[in-house]
């Protein structure tokens, strides 16, 4: 089709695409559609495939014109969006469906004109990104961090044994319970009841915080109690409310922790001969994790400054997709339904916080991608090979064995990771960063700011 187009930029990273299709092309496509119907449609009094065109038009005139217009517009949009010279600021985002504006009319004596509006990638004009100053938080690996890792190793190597039926539940015991949380009307929604819920008493892994209420119970005991939940509770359906909870203790076990000695080190890995070997390995591993996180912090602080110099208007559809993706990841982590997570997070202020966080993440990501394009960051075959070697060395594997796990798509993403590392290397080189506030290791590693 000899389609002509005009693209007009709107607010909020929207564009309006005005399309004109010559009347001859419209008539041609309409005729092709009629031929198709004539061959497949069967009407009383006519053999299949022998329905005259004039009969079709007389009987289904408006329906045919509506169908034809829909097909012609869809075909035109597909053809336009496949154009190689269409810039990324003109193509619709994958999750933004073009919306038809107005009510176009099919008139065979006129060109067909219609308009659609859709979201596009935001326009990013990088401001100052060199010679900037930024301060970053930092941390160090201390003895308390090594001791914490050793405690976790002891926990993982603990022996779990059933306690005597007369024993009462105490902090540190592994309990298995059935529970249900009642609403004010006495009903219990399926999302508020569960069987065989196991956790370590006093470990703070129970989001409902009824550890103290279970303490002292024996295996087989059942108990109903009231629990008041804070306004900031994880589950917004419970936040600020008091509910009755029924709990039955179905299993009670205790953990026997191994001694912290050379035998434990050898159980962890035969390469460790002594406990000191294990401690040194832990310190080295924590140090590597810290270095990786420190680099992320430095880049993050730099990007905050660049973001101030580079305002970007991010479309709502882009933010919505990012938030939904986060919900899905969180749902997989907690083995919950994404819709349930979304509902729990939609309490006062929390949905706004998620959107703001998503918008900031997209803002910084767009800056990185734009810088990679502007600085013409490319990845050579040798750089990919070196990355494969690094992955192999880190995992104690052969390079060829590592490559077997990378298909074409995975290699593409590997190259993108290398490109991003190269641009962040450049950012760190071209700007001045100084250490700021010292944080403890756990806070430093977990903080997403």
Rounded mean pLDDT, 247-271 = 94
Helix or strand or coil: residue 432?
Answer: strand
Cα separation, 263 vs 275, whole angstroms: 8
Rounded mean pLDDT, 4-16 = 90
Q: Model confidence over 340-368: pLDDT tens digits? A: 777 766 654 567 888 899 999 999 999 99
Cα of 97 vs its chain's centroid, Å:
21
Report DSSP letters for 281-299, one per residue: HHHHHHHHHHHHHHHHHHH
**Kind of pairing between the strands at 133-138 and 432-438:** parallel
Cα separation, 282 vs 358, whole angstroms: 34
Rounded mean pLDDT, 196-202 = 91
pLDDT at 332 over 60: yes
Cα distances from 45 to residues 42, 48, 49, 52, in angstroms, run: 9, 10, 12, 11
User: Which pLDDT score is estimated for 348?
Assistant: 47
Please give the backbone phi and psi of residue 306, each rounded to the nearest 5 degrees, phi first: -65, -35
- Return mean pLDDT, the chain: 90
Six-digit token string for 259? 């001694």
Range from 184-193, 212-221, 280-289 carrying the lowest mean pLDDT:
184-193
Rounded mean pLDDT, 8-33 = 91
Q: For residue 116, what are the β-bridge partners? A: 17, 100
b vs e for 428-442, b when ≥16 Cβ sit within 10 Å of the residue's Cβ?
eeebebeeeeebebe
User: Which pLDDT score is estimated for 269?
Assistant: 93
Range from 148-157, 206-215, 370-379, 384-393 carrying the lowest mean pLDDT:
206-215
Cα distances from 438 to residues 101, 122, 149, 226, 303, in angstroms, run: 55, 37, 21, 42, 20
Per 3-state DSSP, the chain is made up of helix, strand and coil in percentages (nearest 5) of 45, 20, 35
């Amino acid at each position: 089709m000899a389609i002509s187009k005009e693209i007009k930029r709107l607010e909020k990273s929207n564009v309006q695409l005005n399309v004109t299709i010559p009347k001859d092309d419209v008539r041609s496509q309409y005729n092709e559609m009629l031929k198709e119907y004539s061959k497949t449609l069967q009407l009383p009094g006519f053999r299949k495939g022998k329905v005259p065109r004039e009969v079709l038009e007389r009987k289904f005139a408006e329906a045919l014109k509506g169908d034809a217009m829909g097909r012609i517009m869809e075909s035109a949009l597909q053809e336009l969006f496949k154009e190689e010279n269409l810039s990324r600021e003109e193509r619709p985002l994958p999750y933004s469906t073009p919306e038809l504006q107005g009510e176009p009319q099919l008139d065979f004596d006129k060109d067909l004109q219609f308009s659609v509006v859709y979201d596009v990638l935001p326009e990013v004009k990088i401001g100052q990104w060199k010679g900037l100053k930024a301060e970053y938080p930092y941390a160090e690996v201390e003895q308390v961090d090594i001791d914490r890792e050793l405690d976790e190793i002891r926990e993982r190597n603990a022996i779990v044994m059933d306690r005597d039926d007369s024993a009462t539940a105490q902090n540190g015991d592994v309990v298995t319970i059935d529970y249900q949380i009642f609403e004010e009307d006495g009903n219990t929604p399926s999302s508020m009841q569960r069987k065989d819920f196991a956790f370590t008493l006093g470990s703070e892994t129970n989001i409902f915080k009824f550890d103290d209420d279970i303490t002292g119970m024996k295996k087989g005991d059942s108990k109903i109690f009231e629990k008041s939940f804070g306004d900031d509770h994880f589950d917004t359906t419970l936040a600020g409310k008091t509910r009755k909870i029924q709990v039955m203790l179905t299993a009670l076990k205790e953990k026997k922790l191994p001694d912290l000695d050379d035998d434990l080190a050898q159980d962890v890995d035969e390469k460790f001969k002594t406990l000191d070997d294990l401690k040194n390995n832990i310190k080295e591993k924590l140090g590597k994790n810290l270095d990786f996180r420190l680099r992320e912090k430095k880049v993050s602080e730099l990007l905050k400054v660049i973001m101030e110099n580079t305002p970007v208007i991010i479309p709502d559809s882009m933010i919505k997709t990012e938030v939904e993706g986060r919900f899905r990841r969180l749902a997989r982590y907690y083995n919950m339904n994404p819709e349930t997570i979304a509902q729990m997070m939609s309490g006062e202020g929390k949905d706004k916080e998620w959107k703001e966080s998503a918008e900031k993440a997209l803002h910084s990501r767009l800056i990185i991608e734009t810088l990679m394009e502007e600085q013409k960051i490319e990845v050579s075959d040798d750089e990919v090979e070196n990355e494969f070697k690094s992955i192999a060395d880190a995992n104690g594997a052969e390079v060829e064995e590592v490559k077997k796990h990378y298909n074409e798509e995975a290699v593409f993403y590997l190259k993108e990771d290398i490109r991003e590392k190269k641009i962040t290397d450049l950012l760190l080189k071209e700007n001045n960063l100084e250490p700021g506030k010292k944080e403890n290791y756990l806070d430093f590693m977990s903080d997403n700011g």
